[in-house]
Amino acid sequence: MKLRKNLEAVFIVAAVVTNFASYAVASAQAPEVVRAAPAAAVIDANVPVVMVKAHRLSAAEKAALN
């Protein structure tokens, strides 16, 4: 029951702590990007591709659906 009464205060404290943490992390230097291995960039030629083809409905067909 105490948590329900103090839920707003808990939320505000969490928001303030998160706000200060975001400023602390933003001031830190960004880590260097590690390049992926060239083998990871190879695209598999056997990936199944699904192509959907359909005709557009005319105004009469659209009206018939409603």
Q: What is the DSSP string of 20-43?
A: HHHHHHHHSPPPPPPPPPGGGGPP
Which amino acid appears at position 18 of this protein?
T
Contacts of residue 10, defined as CB under 8 A and 6 or more positions apart, other chains included, come to 3
CA 23 to chain centre: 22
* Average pLDDT of span 12-31: 83
Specify the pTM: 0.37
pLDDT number for residue 61: 92
Q: Has residue 41 got a pLDDT over 70?
A: no
pLDDT number for residue 21: 86
In the chain, % of residues over pLDDT 70: 74
Q: Has residue 51 got a pLDDT over 60?
A: yes
